[in-house]
Chain A
Amino acid sequence: MRKLISLVLLLVVAVGIGMSLSGGPFGAEGERDGPHFRRDQVNFGRYYVHEGVQETGAVNIVSSVVVGYRGLDTLGEVTVLFIAATGLGMVLHLRAAGRVEDGREPASLVLFTGCRFLFPLILLFGTYVFVHGHLTPGGGFQGGAVIASAFLLVYLGCRERRLNERALGVTESVSGVVFVVVGLIGLAFCGAFLLDFLPRGTAYLLFSAGIIPVLYLAIGFKVGSELGAIIDKLAERAK
């Protein structure tokens, strides 16, 4: 009986939400001009493709959407990752009391040499990906993930090398603060959080697109240090 009542209630709520949302247009071709929206504000996709490059200065439209138009969502994503990494660190830290000594043999010469040769190249590629996020495909998340995979390679090749946890924490905190401060400067001087306050510059050049490269630098360092810390903690526990 209770199940039936809750099912009916759920149905009523679902129908109510559906009815109230059916009046508003979402994304698709807007046929009418209402009092609260204009037609070009409804056609998001087409609007971004046509106006994105002029409006944000970023040639890569994906990053103009991710960091320009939807910067607040990106801040939320970075926060989610931060909370996940913190929770993992907490859980692993609590159980890390009885640590087992590493009894395995060291990596082979081939793996060791390959790791030493590839590590700087992967770091360089990761840095390139997030520094050029507004020009070429990629961005902060991708670059940070590539950098974290370089740390993973170091773990595979040279097991005794440990990442400096303190440096990782400081990097992560500073880049998070940079993200929020850039947003607050926009709020203070231009009237909206994360609004672009820097000059757009010439498109296709490295120093262009206003705050997007700055935010991508912050995201790249933050994601790289967070994922690197996760790898480091798990590797320490896996011994």
Chain B
Amino acid sequence: MIIFQVLLIVVMIAAALYAVRSKDLMNAVIACALVSLMASIIFFFLHAPDVAMAEAAIGAGLTTAIFIFAIHRTVRHEEDEKAD
């Protein structure tokens, strides 16, 4: 069980680092959702199912959707520069 939790935390940290380093906003948002999902599983193992439920629904679900709606309105500047 400890190994599983360590694995979850490792994935979480890796996803968080990727979200910060990534150039593509969409990939970063998906990585953020992964962080929330891992956090919610860890909350569940820490006997906090209430928090786990809120984290899974809001952190992994709704926030991701809202970010994607917002990113949908933006333009990719990198591609423009490449085209120039």
A binding-site residues for B, Cβ under 8 Å: 60, 62-63, 129, 137-139, 141-142, 145-146, 148-149, 152, 227, 230-231, 234-235, 237-238
Contact = CB atoms under 8 A, between A and B. Distances in A.
B58 interface: yes
A230 B66 contact: yes
Nearest to A239: B72
B44 to A, nearest CB: 9
Contact of B50 (A142, A234, A235, A238): A142
Contact of B69 (A62, A149, A238): A238
Contacts, number: 48
Given A237-B73, A238-B73, A231 B53 contact: no
Contacts of A237: 69, 73
Given A145-B61, A146-B57, A231-B62, A137 B49 contact: yes
- Tell me the interface secondary structure of chain A in the complex: helix
A148 B70 CA distance: 18
Nearest to A227: B62
Nearest to B70: A234
- Tell me the interface secondary structure of chain B in the complex: helix
Interface in B62-84: 62, 65-66, 69-70, 72-73
B20 interface: no
A179 B60 CA distance: 28
B49 A231 contact: no
B54 interface: yes
A237 B69 CA distance: 8
B66 A137 contact: no
Nearest to B72: A238
Nearest to B66: A234
B8 to A, nearest CB: 19
A149 B53 contact: no
Given A139-B50, A145-B54, 20 more contacts: A62-B50, A63-B50, A129-B53, A137-B53, A138-B49, A138-B50, A142-B50, A142-B53, A142-B54, A142-B57, A146-B53, A148-B57, A149-B57, A152-B61, A152-B62, A231-B66, A234-B65, A234-B69, A235-B69, A238-B69
